[in-house]
Amino acid sequence: MAGTFNITRDEVLQALRIYWKHAWPATSGVCPALPDWSELKLPQILERFTDESEKSTYACQRYVLRLGNHLYPHMKFAVEQCICGGDFYFLADCHDDALAPVTSDIEVWKELRSRNYAVKLSIESGWKLAGLPTFLTASKHATGSFKKPKRVARHILVVDDEPANCALTGAMLRAEGFGTETAGSGTEALRRANRQKPDLIVTDYEMPGMSGREVAEKIRANEDTREIPILICTYAEVTETDLQPADALLKRPFSQEDLKSTVDRLLQRKNAS
C-alpha cells in the first residue's frame, strides 16, 4: 500500500457509520452488522479493502469495499485519490453496470438506478455535513493547483453531469494547452458538438438520460460529427469493446498524465487518418 494519506482512521470509521445509516436504514427491514474496526490502525483497515488502483506509472490510488445498500448489493464504499499525489476522499460508487437491464424490465431498471443514485447522494451529503472529504472538496482543491498555459492548441468538449468532474477534467486539459468547453448532459453534448465541432470529446459513461456510449453512437450517426474522436471515462468494469463506437476508455480516478497521453494518442490517430 503506497502513498501518504491525508485522511485519518477516525474519519474512515465515521464515514463508514454515515454510509451505514443511509445505505441500511432501520425502516428498510434489513440491516447487516457494521464491521467493528475500532481497534485497527488506518493501514490495517485499508488492507481489508480491494485495491482497484490502475497499474500505470501515474495512476491514482483507489480502495473499495462492496458494501451494497438495501436496494442494491453492488454499491461500493471507496477511498480514492483525486489526482496523483493529491488529496484522498470518500465516494459512494453506485456501480450500476453490475446489473445489466433486461429489455422487458427496462423501466424497472431505470427506477432502480434512480433510487440507487438517490442513496449515493444521501450518503455523500451526510459526509459533507460531517466535514469529511468528498470528491467535491478534493476536486476544488485540485482544480486550483493547475496552471493555465497561454497557448491553446486544440479544443475539447468535456461531458459530465457532475460539475465537479467537468471542472477537474477541464483544468487538467487546460494545463496541457487545450481549450475546453463543457456540457452537463448527453443532449447538450450533441448540440455543442454539432455547432462547435471540437477536436475531441471526453465524456462520462454513467449519466442520467443518455449514457456516454449513447452519446458516442449519436455522434457517429451524424455525418457532420462522425470523425470526432471520443474518449469515455468511467468507474464501470467495462472494456473498450463494450463501449464501441467510442475510440478509447479511461478508468477513473485518472491522473493528468494518463489523461494527456490518451488524448494525445487519439488526436495523433485522427491526424494520421
Task: Give which of 72, 65, 69 is closest to 20, Cα–Cα.
Answer: 69
Distances (CA, A) of 213 to 64, 210, 230: 25, 8, 10
- Low-confidence residues of the chain: pLDDT under 70: 1-3, 96-104, 148-152, 273
pLDDT at 151: 59
What pLDDT, on a 0 to 100 scale, did the predictor assign at position 13? 96
pLDDT value at residue 229: 96
Closest residue by Cα to residue 245 from 197, 198, 213: 213
What's the predicted TM-score (pTM) here?
A: 0.79
Which SS3 state, helix, strand or coil, does residue 172 take? Answer: helix
Per-residue pLDDT of 79-110, as tens digits, reads 999 887 888 999 999 876 655 555 567 778 77
pLDDT of residue 272: 74
Q: How many CB atoms lie within 10 A of CB 184?
A: 14
Q: What is the pLDDT of residues 220-244, one digit of tens each?
A: 999 999 999 999 999 888 888 888 8
Q: Give the up-direction half-sphere exposure of residue 100: CA atoms within 13 A in the CB hemisphere.
A: 5
- Residue 244 is given by DSSP the state T
User: DSSP characters for 14-55?
Assistant: HHHHHHHHHHS-GGGS--PPPP--TTS-HHHHHTTSEE----
Residue 44, pLDDT score: 94
SS3 state of residue 128: helix
Main-chain dihedrals φ then ψ at residue 250, nearest 5 degrees: -130, 120
The CA-to-CA distance between both ends of the chain, in Å, stands at: 42
Residue ranges and CATH numbers for the domains of the chain are: 9-138 (no CATH), 146-272 (3.40.50.2300)
